[in-house]
Amino acid sequence: MRRPLIALAVLACLLWPVDSQAQSATRGLHADRFDTLLTLLPDGSLDVVETITFRFTDRTFREVERRVPIQRTDGLIDVEASMDGRVLPEGREAGQASIRIGRRELRVLWRFPETTNTTHQFTLRYRAMGALRLDTRGAHLAWHILPTRHRYAITEAELIWQLSGGAVSPGGPALESEGWSWTREGEQVWSARKRDIAVNETAVLTDHLESASLAVAPPRWQVDDDRGRQLAPAFIVGAAVILVMGAGMVVMMRLRYHRSKADGGAAIPAAHGSLPPGLGTAMTVSRPRVGLPQLSATLVDLLARRVLAVEEADGMMTVVLPPKDSTGLRLRPHEQVVMDALWLAMKHGRLPLKDAQRLLLSGVSTFKAAAHEEIREAGYVDAERRWAAASMTVAGVVAILVGFAGLLGVALWLGAMGPAALLVPGAVILLGLALVIAGESFPTLTASGVSVGAQWVARAEFLKAEVAAGRARQHADVWLPVAVGFGLGPKFAKAGAVVPWLDGINNPSSVLTAIIIAAGSPGSGVGVAGGGMAGGGGVSGAR
């Protein structure tokens, strides 16, 4: 668990300056006033009028934005945007306002000709349906009277809260923020003021109303919340059942194909030539792993066996076919894949080393198929185990796709069931991931395959120990292709390895380094044992 935690800590440190920058004030933007008028209507809806007086300085501005969350309401209607006392028509041109009501928020953009060193007044009016939460004690209001995110300071803010339709507030309203001064303007009207409001500072108006003074039904969002809480235990149990069943499936497959763990410490390192480097370095004690390192080992092995050669001319290294008749040369299928790819790209029997690198990268899939087929034909892979591993992988992929489809369905049609409803498709996705991991790590080797794999793992450990002891150079002549397959090629080159198939080339050490880099040996494919409850809020800004 240490690596994921360290990664999260590093990510948090990297994002901290970004977050700090996001909280800074927008240059040249200041709000002289932010006035909010809230009126509770007899049907339990809230009439909201926000008026912001912006002062633009230092640079030009051409639009003002306001976003209002729709959560904790039954929707926002009767939206109207004004600038300097004039209602703006909807549109995308200067002098118009863009109003878009989505599933989660209302987004308004006031557009105007580029301006600077001036002051303008922007007014947003809308009606929030179902703004009150009802229970046996009465009706409750919680509403952000300022945007929760605003990248500008406010010189003075004023709130006017008024009731209508005979609503009664026994204790009066309150603000969950310090520094506001309250004044009662009438029997059902209160006002609050505050100066010098900082960037992103907000305030939540709360009030408790007598239920007898209201004739409203619980809002739809509250009904959905209550239903979601009631169904949450069922969703939790359903998700748990899915995970337990999935874990049982994986355990049953493991028990069905149980095999005692091989003792790698007792294995004798694989002998030279017992398997080609491209196949031997793919062997583990569980399943073959074929990738770019094994293809790279095959290329170096073909050079070491002088099936291919490398020449240096005019500062360019070139892979060439030796001037000899090779029609009788017998190559293994995975070796033939490499030879065919290089031969088809050669011109007059020559190919630049950098082009060989490109071909290696593009031909990995064909090479993998050929290598896996050879390993199966050698009797190292159990067909039934391979089928079981493939079945778990396919089942996992299908479960992941079904889970994501379920997430989309819940988000679109069952959002009223609450966030707990997401647990069921989430559990299906987790089950799919577990099946994919189990399938990709499921041991597929036969008993003989495990024995051979243990020998090659032991050979990898031996070469690693020799590299650590500074004795890599003395093994280069025999074991360099294998070292490349195990991801040790760069360390062999750094140790000054000398190989006979580079005799006659100027600076063979640098050429060998270039070959290993071109072969693509970065590492081995072998696993060697080593918002809250309140409405309102949102975003406000200008640019």
Please give the tally of structural domains in the chain: 3
Res. 50: pLDDT tops 50: yes
* Among 166, 194, 218, residue at a domain's last position: 218
B/e letters for 45-62, b = 16+ CB within 10 Å, e = fewer, are bbbbbbbbbbbbeeeebe
Q: Does 283 reside within a domain?
A: yes
Give Cα separations from 314 to 14, 23, 141, 269 (angstroms).
Answer: 46, 58, 82, 42
> Given this model, what pLDDT does residue 104 score?
84
Q: Does 284 reside within a domain?
A: yes
Selected residue with higher pLDDT from 509 and 193: 193
> Given this model, what pLDDT does residue 176 score?
84
Q: Tens digits of per-residue pLDDT, 325-369? A: 554 568 999 999 888 888 888 888 888 878 887 887 788 899 999
Residue pair 76/535 in contact (Cβ under 8 Å)? The answer is no
262 pLDDT band, cuts 50/70/90, is low
Q: How many percent of the chain have pLDDT more than 70?
A: 86
Name the nearest CA neighbour of 529 among 472, 434, 454, 426.
454
> Given this model, what pLDDT does residue 499 score?
80
Q: What integer is the mean pLDDT of 233-244?
A: 90
Res. 146: pLDDT tops 60: yes
The SS3 of residue 307 is coil
| Same-domain pairing of 450 and 500 | yes
| Same-domain pairing of 153 and 213 | yes
Distance CA 513, CA 491 (A): 10
Q: Does 108 reside within a domain?
A: yes
Find the radius of gyration of the CA atoms of the chain. Answer: 36
Q: What integer is the mean pLDDT of 167-182?
A: 87
Q: What integer is the mean pLDDT of 508-532?
A: 52
| Same-domain pairing of 337 and 424 | no
282 pLDDT band, cuts 50/70/90, is very high
Residue pair 36/122 in contact (Cβ under 8 Å)? The answer is no
Q: What integer is the mean pLDDT of 122-141?
A: 89
Q: What integer is the mean pLDDT of 82-89?
A: 94
Q: Does 505 reside within a domain?
A: yes
Q: How many CA atoms lie within 13 A of 89 on its CB side?
A: 5
| Same-domain pairing of 66 and 166 | yes
What the block records as the tokens of 315 is 């500062």
| Same-domain pairing of 124 and 207 | yes
> Given this model, what pLDDT does residue 407 score?
86
> Given this model, what pLDDT does residue 416 score?
64
Q: What integer is the mean pLDDT of 398-422?
A: 81
Q: Does 118 reside within a domain?
A: yes
The SS3 of residue 33 is strand
Q: Does 387 reside within a domain?
A: no
Residue pair 506/541 in contact (Cβ under 8 Å)? The answer is no
530 pLDDT band, cuts 50/70/90, is very low
Q: How high does pLDDT run on average in the chain?
A: 83
Q: What integer is the mean pLDDT of 304-313?
A: 82
| Same-domain pairing of 320 and 460 | yes
* Among 426, 442, 458, residue at a domain's last position: 442
Q: How many percent of the chain have pLDDT more than 90?
A: 42
Q: Does 542 reside within a domain?
A: no
Residue pair 93/111 in contact (Cβ under 8 Å)? The answer is yes
361: CB partners within 8 A, 6+ apart? 292, 520
> Given this model, what pLDDT does residue 475 score?
86
> Given this model, what pLDDT does residue 118 score?
93
Query: 108: domain CATH number?
Result: 2.60.40.1730
Q: Which helix (H) or strand (E) holds 115?
A: strand 105-115
231: CB partners within 8 A, 6+ apart? 417, 418, 420, 421
DSSP string, 453-522: HHHHHHHHHHHHHHHHTT--GGGHHHHHHHHHHTT-HHHHHHTT---GGGTT-SSHHHHHHHHHHHHT-S
> Given this model, what pLDDT does residue 529 score?
33
* Among 164, 195, 218, residue at a domain's last position: 218
| Same-domain pairing of 158 and 187 | yes
> Given this model, what pLDDT does residue 187 score?
85
| Same-domain pairing of 239 and 150 | no
| Same-domain pairing of 344 and 263 | yes
Q: Tens digits of per-residue pLDDT, 464-505? A: 999 899 888 888 888 989 998 998 888 887 877 778 777 766
Distance CA 139, CA 301 (A): 81
> Given this model, what pLDDT does residue 392 score?
92
| Residue ranges making up the domain that contains 185 | 27-218
| Same-domain pairing of 270 and 366 | yes
Residue pair 453/279 in contact (Cβ under 8 Å)? The answer is no
> Given this model, what pLDDT does residue 244 score?
92
Q: Give the E-state strand segments of 275-413 in sequence order.
A: 309-313, 316-320, 350-352
Q: Does 503 reside within a domain?
A: yes
Residue pair 512/499 in contact (Cβ under 8 Å)? The answer is yes
Which class for 104: exposed (0-12), middle (13-18), buried (19 or more C-beta within 10 A)? exposed
Res. 55: pLDDT tops 60: yes
pTM above the 0.85 mark? no
> Given this model, what pLDDT does residue 161 score?
93
| Same-domain pairing of 472 and 413 | no
| Same-domain pairing of 116 and 243 | no
Res. 112: pLDDT tops 60: yes
Q: What integer is the mean pLDDT of 135-139?
A: 83
DSSP string, 194-227: EEEEPTT---EEEEEE-GGG---PPPHHHHHHHH
